[in-house]
Structure 1
Amino acid sequence: MADNELEFVDEEDTALATEDTAAFSEAVLYSSDWTVETVISQMTNSNIEMNPRFQRRDAWSPGGKSRFIESIILGFPIPQIVLAEKKGKKGQFIVLDGKQRLLSLLQFTGRAEGARNGFRLSGLEVRADLNRKSYTAIKDDPNRRDDINAFLNNTIRTVVIRNWPSTNFLHIVFLRLNTGSVKLSPQELRQAMVPGPFSEFIDDTALASAHTQRLLGRTSPDPRMRDVELLVRFLGFRNFLPTYGGRMKEFLDGVCQELTDTWANSQPRVQGDLNEFNSAVDALIEIFGADEIARKPGSKSFNRAIFDALAFYAADHEIRNSMTAHSGPIKDLYAELMRDDRFSKAIESDTAGIPHTFDRLSLWGLGLRRVLGIGFNVPMLIEREDGSAGIGFDGFR
């Protein structure tokens, strides 16, 4: 399977919490037209965060970057970028939308890192005379002064968000501003909002992970950080399931913050858990085949809600060994649950909610217990002190 072919099934998890709604009026959104030269200056001065880690997840092809630069030189309107001011750091921003456009500007002008820094334009049709030209070659050519001026002086509409109450609020604002565009990856935002040693570790792990690449049908790291999110989800359900409140984004934000705050003590455990993740993926590939894991029959769409349940149990050594020894019955169980109305609802709608999250974990776990004939604990539905529903779990044994 070629990179980027894999489809994903996402949770509908974008509603504003009550506290977000109350704080909506306190947030400030404004827009202005920044010249390309100003935008580049903001990035090179580190006011707009474009760290090297993001540059290693470059998603645009050289041709796409070149056509973008050509559009600027031609004076075409450029899609807006959306920034959020960092908490407590006036005049410093994270990027909500427009990272690939901003990275193209850095690379074209030779201010980035990596193999594509200082790239030459290619595949241009309107300005074919600029093919094979670098920024430096155009800038140093007296006959190209108009082109450089057109490039640096073209404007980009820039939306800035200040005094935002939560990361979920930023997701909602992004969707309202960009109803026709691809949603910002929750993990991309999470990496920027919860920086620190865990964020760097989990990014490095995903970048080097042959297991996530094989699982997702890729030969390179995922440009939207969905490989990172798979690892964070796994760590969250494995270690913090009783704290899950039914909102995936908030849960994973909390997981990242907790592991960042306790990293000195948590690192050995996290490394061990990720070793078990790799073993779980190996076992699931052995049982189902790499292209069939967490898919409904006849579908190419990778369903993260299904994978959460599969990996939750396969990461346990005893359960995993028994699963691989009974691969035929395991595949029969999977097919059986795909025909079960309760399980189907739990993987298709409100997948982030407590009831359906519990149903997925419980039904698959009870099925495994029956088919494998071994004893282990399965998550339970509980009532919390405040009367809300929760998921109780204290380990398999």
Structure 2
Amino acid sequence: MADNELEFVDEEDTALAPEDTASFSDAVLYSSDWTVETVVSQMCNANIEMNPRFQRRDAWSPGGKSRFIESIILGFPIPQIVLAEKKGKKGQFIVLDGKQRLLALLQFTGNAEGPRNGFRLSGLDVRADLNRRSYNAISDDPNRRDDLNAFLNNTIRTVVIRNWPNTNFLHVVFLRLNTGSVKLSPQELRQAMVPGPFSEFIDDAALASEHTRRLLGRTTPDPRMRDVELLVRFLSFREFLPTYRGRMKEFLDDVCQRLTDSWAQSKPVVEADLAEFNAAVDALIALFGSDELARKPGSKSFNRAIFDALVFYAADPTIREAMLAQPGPVHELYAQLMGDDQFTEAIESDTAGIPHTFDRLSKWGLGLREKLQIQFNVPELVQGDDGNVRIAFNGFR
């Protein structure tokens, strides 16, 4: 399967509570026109976060980058970039919108890392005379001085957000900016908001993971970090399910922060969990096949809500062994649940809410326990001291 051919079904979190949005008006937004030279300088000085890890997830083709550079030289309108100032770090920013455009500028000017650094322009039709020319070739050619000035002095509208109240605010802005046909993964924002040893470890793990590439139908790391998010979701449900409050983005943010803060103690656990994740994916692909895993009948869409439930149980060695030994009952259960109205609603509507999250985990777990004739614990719904419903789980045995 070619890269990006696979559809990827996202879920929407439940509506934000009033206390989450009450302080949204405290944020300060302002716009300014930064020259390309200023933008590149800010990136080179590490004031705009464009670390090498992001550069390894390059989504634009050489032709797309070249046409972007050509548009700047021609003075065509350039889409704005949106930055959020880091908490406690005045003048340092994370990127909410425009990462690929910024990376193209960094690479073209020879200030990036990797094989595309200092690329030559290609596929241009309006300024075909610039094809096969690099930034250095243009800057060293006295006859190209006008082109160089047009490039460096052209302005890019830059929106800067300061005093943002909470991560929910940035998630809302981030997703509102990316409602087109290619929706960015919130994991990109999460990696920037919660930097540290866990963030670096899980990014490296995803970059090296054959298993996530098989799940996503890719031959390269996912440029939107959906491979990283699959691993983070798995770890979150496996180790922190009782802390889930029904909003997925907030849950994953919190888990990343917890693991970052306790990394010295958490690293062995995470490494062991990822080994079980790999074994679970191998087993699930053996059972369902790469093209059918976590899909509804007749659909090509990889459904993360289904996958969460499947991998939650398959990551346990005893349950996994029983599933592999009895593929017939496992397939029978899957077909049965695909015809169950409560289960299908739980994988299609408000998939991040506690009721539907519980329904998926509970129905698949109880069904496996019955079909495979083995005993293990399944998550339960309980009412907390605050009166809110929670998912209780303390291990399979």
Which TM-score applies when normalising by structure 1? 0.98
**Counterparts of 1:73 and 1:50, CA distance in 2:** 23
**Corresponding residue for 2:28?**
28
**Counterparts of 1:30 and 1:181, CA distance in 2:** 27
**Counterparts of 1:184 and 1:168, CA distance in 2:** 16
**Corresponding residue for 1:334?**
334
Matching residue's letter, 1:66: S
**Counterparts of 2:14 and 2:122, CA distance in 1:** 39
Q: Percent identity?
A: 83
**Counterparts of 2:343 and 2:15, CA distance in 1:** 24
1:81–1:158 contact (8 Å) kept in structure 2: yes
**Corresponding residue for 2:366?**
366
The CA deviation at 1:178 is 5.4
CA-atom RMSD, angstroms? 1.1
1:85–1:161 contact (8 Å) kept in structure 2: yes
**Counterparts of 2:241 and 2:260, CA distance in 1:** 18
1:80–1:159 contact (8 Å) kept in structure 2: yes
**Counterparts of 2:221 and 2:14, CA distance in 1:** 26
The CA deviation at 1:7 is 1.1
**Counterparts of 1:221 and 1:8, CA distance in 2:** 15
* Cα-to-partner distance string for 1:303-349 (whole Å, 9 max, x where unaligned): 10100000000000000000011112211211110010000000000
Map 1:188-207; keep pairs closer than 5 Å.
188-207=188-207
**Corresponding residue for 1:159?**
159
**Corresponding residue for 1:286?**
286
**Corresponding residue for 1:234?**
234
* Cα-to-partner distance string for 1:124-161 (whole Å, 9 max, x where unaligned): 11111100000000111111111111111111111111
**Corresponding residue for 1:277?**
277
**Corresponding residue for 1:225?**
225
1:342–1:359 contact (8 Å) kept in structure 2: yes
**Corresponding residue for 1:209?**
209
The CA deviation at 1:177 is 4.8
**Corresponding residue for 2:138?**
138
Structure 2 unaligned residues grouped into runs of 5+: none
**Counterparts of 2:206 and 2:251, CA distance in 1:** 20
2:83–2:96 contact (8 Å) kept in structure 1: yes
**Corresponding residue for 2:101?**
101
207 and 233 in structure 1: CA distance in 2 versus 1, 3 angstrom threshold: same
**Counterparts of 1:14 and 1:52, CA distance in 2:** 34
The CA deviation at 1:182 is 4.1
1:16–1:172 contact (8 Å) kept in structure 2: no
**Corresponding residue for 1:304?**
304
**Counterparts of 2:361 and 2:174, CA distance in 1:** 32
* Cα-to-partner distance string for 1:265-301 (whole Å, 9 max, x where unaligned): 0110110000000000000000000111111011111
Q: What is the SS of the residue equivalent to 2:156?
A: strand
**Counterparts of 2:211 and 2:40, CA distance in 1:** 37
1:14–1:171 contact (8 Å) kept in structure 2: no
**Corresponding residue for 2:125?**
125
Question: How many residues end up aligned between the 2 structures?
Answer: 397
**Counterparts of 2:21 and 2:247, CA distance in 1:** 16
2:55–2:103 contact (8 Å) kept in structure 1: yes
The CA deviation at 1:174 is 3.1
Matching residue's letter, 2:362: S
**Counterparts of 2:20 and 2:182, CA distance in 1:** 23
**Corresponding residue for 2:259?**
259
15 and 28 in structure 1: CA distance in 2 versus 1, 3 angstrom threshold: farther
Structure 1 unaligned residues grouped into runs of 5+: none
**Corresponding residue for 2:314?**
314
**Counterparts of 2:180 and 2:219, CA distance in 1:** 29
237 and 178 in structure 1: CA distance in 2 versus 1, 3 angstrom threshold: closer
**Counterparts of 2:176 and 2:294, CA distance in 1:** 31
Q: What is the SS of the residue equivalent to 1:378?
A: coil
**Counterparts of 2:389 and 2:14, CA distance in 1:** 20
The CA deviation at 1:379 is 0.4
